[in-house]
Amino acid sequence: SLEITKLTGSKDDKYRDFELEKYIPGVKESLLYWADEVAALYDSITMYNPKVRKIGAFSTLTIVEQQLRRLAKKPNDLPKRLTEFSQGTSSVFQYLANFIQDINNNNLALDKIYIIQDESSIPDKSNLFAKSASSISRFFISFGQQAYSVDNTNPEHLQVWINRPRQNIEIIQKMVDETFTPNTGIEVDVSLMPDPNKLVLANAAGKAPDVAISVHYVLPHDLAIRGALQDLREFEDFKEVASRFSPGLFVPAMIEDKVYALPETMNFWVLFYRSDILQAMNIPVPDTLEEVKLSLPELQRRGMNFYYPTAATGAFKPFFGTLPLIYQHGGSFYAENVGRTTLNSEASLAGVKELTDLFTIYNMPYDVPNFYQSFRDGTLPMGVSDYFTYNLLINAAPEIANSWNIGPFPGIAGSEGEVERWTTGGGESCIIFNDSLKKQEAWEYLKWWTSKEAQVEFGHTLQATYGKEYMWNTANLEAFKELPWDKEHKETIMKQQEWLVEAPRVPGTYMLERELSNAYNSIILDGVSLRKAIDLAVKRSNRETNRKLEEFGYLKDGKMIRPYPVPTIFSLEGEGIK
C-alpha cells in the first residue's frame, strides 16, 4: 500500500490509469500468493471438524481470499481500489485485523469438569422446566435488596460511594475486609454510586456519603464552592499524602488556599507513532511540533497525515485539546486573581495561532471520527492521544503489536532549548463531604486507598481477575511504576507526567472553555481573524466570570470584595509538593 501511494500520490483519479506491474513487479503474484495462504489456513482448520462444510467463526478467511483474487484479476486498478485492499472498514487489512482480534478473544470456557468411571455417571442436561425455574427465581430476586446498594448499608459504618462497575467494587470490598478494617478497626460499607451528578442533591437532602470515590475531576470544585466538601489541608499529614501525586492534578480541586480532593486516576497525552511506517519512509520520530510540521509534506504526499486530539471531539473542544499549545507558549487563562481572562495576552494568542495554523495552513485533519482505527490502517501513522487509545492499541490491535510505540508530547522549544510539553491529565478524584461525622475515619480510608500498596494490589488484581484490558491508570506515581505495563512505555509516560497541569477551575471557567472552543471553530471553519474571535471570547467569558463571582460573594456592584486567587501548579510549593 505504501509503495502504491508513493507511486500514484494521495488523491484518486478515476481518469488516470497506471501500469502498476511495470513499476511494482509481482503485484498480481503477491495477491494470489496471499489468497492461497489464506485458503490453506482455512483448509487446515476444517480438518478438525470434517463433518462440517463451513465454519462460521472462520468465514472471514473465505471473504479475504475471494477479495484478494478479485483484486488480482485487475492489478493495475489497485490504486483505485485501496479501500478494498488496505484502507476502510471493508478492506482485506481490516477483515484480517478483526479476525485476529476475534480469535484471540474467543477463549475456551468450562463450567464444570466431571471425573467418571463410565458414561452412565454423567448427569443429565437441565430440562426446560429446570431452566425456566432458575430464570424465574433470578427475576424475583432482582426486586429485592441488591448488593452494594446505597439503601443496603449500616449507618454505624463508614459510607463510601464509588462510581465504578460492580466487578471493581467487589474487589475493593474484599480488600477493605482483608486489609483496611483489620488494620484500622474502621468498618466500611462500599456502595455503587447511583449518579455522580446527583451528589449535590444528596448533600442538600442530608443523604450524602462520608466519602465519594471515582468522581470526575471537575466535580469537586462545583461541590466545594457551595460548601459541601471538607478541606483536606486541615489534616496533619496532608503534605505526605499529597506528595504521592503529580501537583498539576490538584489545580482543579483548589479554591483559594484549600484543597478539596485527592487524585485517584490520571490521564496522559503522548505521541503515538507507527514505527514500521516511519522507518519505511525514513521519517524520524518528532520531538517538537516544528519537527512534526517538517514531516507533514512527506506524509501528505502519500495520503497520510498527523492527528491532533481536537479532531475527535466534535463541535465542542475541551481544554485537553486547546490548553497544551497555549501553556507551551507561556500563555495562561487567568492572571494572579480571577477577574479578566488573559486569553488575549500575546503569549496566549501565540498558542491559539499555533493551534489553528495546524489545520488552516498545515492541513491536518479537522475531523477524525476514530484515531484508533486510522492508526491501525496507517492513514494516520502519527498522532497525540491518551490512555484510552493506549488501552485499545495494547489489547485490540494485535495485527500491529510490534509496529508502534509512544513518545513524549511533541512540544514547543523554549528560549533555553528545553522543550515545553505541558498537557492536561485529569482523571477521577476522591472527596470527603463536609457534613460527615466520621471525617478522620474518612481521611484514613483515603490515605489507605490512594497508598502505593493498595493501588498496586488493585491494579494487579483487576487484570488478573478480568483480563489484561482492565488496565488501572492510578494517579499514585510510585504505584504506577509497579503496574503490569510495558516498562519502556511506563518510563515515557512518567517523563510526560512531569509536564502535567490541569486548567484551573474558578467561577465561570465553563464559559471560558466554551468560548475558546467557539473561537477555535470560527477561525478554522468560518475564516474569522484570530484577534476578532478571541476578543469576542474574552468579552463573553469576562461577563460570565463576573456574574459567578457576584453569585459566590467575591464581587458586589462591580467591585471586588475579596480576591479569588487563581490556583496554579506552583500553589502547592509551600507544602513541599513539587
* pLDDT, average across residues 469-481: 96
Q: Ranked by mean pLDDT, which of 139-148, 202-211, 256-265 comes out on top?
A: 256-265
Between CA 523 and CA 533, with CA 527 as vertex, the angle to 5 degrees is 40
Residues 6 or more apart from 223 whose CB is under 8 A from it? 199, 200, 203, 229, 260, 431
Q: HSE of 273 in the Cβ direction (CA atoms, 13 Å)?
A: 22
Round to whole Å and give the CA distance between 482 and 474. Answer: 10
E-strand ranges in 232-323 read 254-255, 258-259, 262-263, 270-274, 306-307
Angle (deg, nearest 10), helices 452-466 and 439-449? 60
Give 126-153 pLDDT, tens digit per residue: 666 665 665 666 555 545 555 676 666 7
Give 389-432 pLDDT, tens digit per residue: 999 999 988 889 899 999 999 999 987 889 999 999 999 999 99
The CATH number given to 158-264+426-480 is 3.40.190.10
In one-letter notation, the amino acid at residue 92 is V
**What HEC string does 522-547 produce?**
HHHHCCCCHHHHHHHHHHHHHHHHHH
In one-letter notation, the amino acid at residue 435 is D
* pLDDT, average across residues 22-45: 81
Residues 6 or more apart from 406 whose CB is under 8 A from it? 270, 271, 272, 273, 390, 489, 492, 493
The CATH number given to 272-417+504-575 is 3.40.190.10
Q: What pLDDT is recorded for position 295?
A: 97
* Residue whose cell numbers read 500563555: 331
Round to whole Å and give the CA distance between 324 and 502. Answer: 10
User: Residue 190 forms beta bridges with which residues?
Assistant: 160
Helices (H), 365-508: 371-377, 387-396, 439-449, 452-466, 477-480, 487-497
Locate the domains of the chain by residue range: 2-105, 158-264+426-480, 272-417+504-575
Residue bearing the bigger pLDDT, 196 or 265: 265
Nearest by Cα to 193 from 438, 433, 506, 465 = 433
Round to whole Å and give the CA distance between 292 and 283. Answer: 10
Domains 158-264+426-480 and 272-417+504-575 are alike in CATH topology: yes
User: Residue 306 forms beta bridges with which residues?
Assistant: 382
Query: For the chain, how big is the Rg over CA atoms in Å?
Result: 28
pLDDT at 11 over 80: no
Give 291-343 pLDDT, tens digit per residue: 999 999 999 988 899 999 999 988 999 999 999 999 999 999 999 999 899 99
* pLDDT, average across residues 50-67: 76
Q: HSE of 163 in the Cβ direction (CA atoms, 13 Å)?
A: 21
Tell me which of 201-215, 237-251, 443-457 is least confident: 201-215
Could you count the other beta carbons within 10 Å of the beta carbon of residue 450?
A: 22
Could you tell me if 326 and 303 are in contact, meaning their C-beta atoms sit under 8 angstroms apart? Answer: no
Residue bearing the bigger pLDDT, 243 or 36: 243
Q: What pLDDT is recorded for position 191?
A: 92
Q: What pLDDT is recorded for position 173?
A: 93
Could you tell me if 92 and 82 are in contact, meaning their C-beta atoms sit under 8 angstroms apart? Answer: no
Round to whole Å and give the CA distance between 228 and 204. Answer: 9
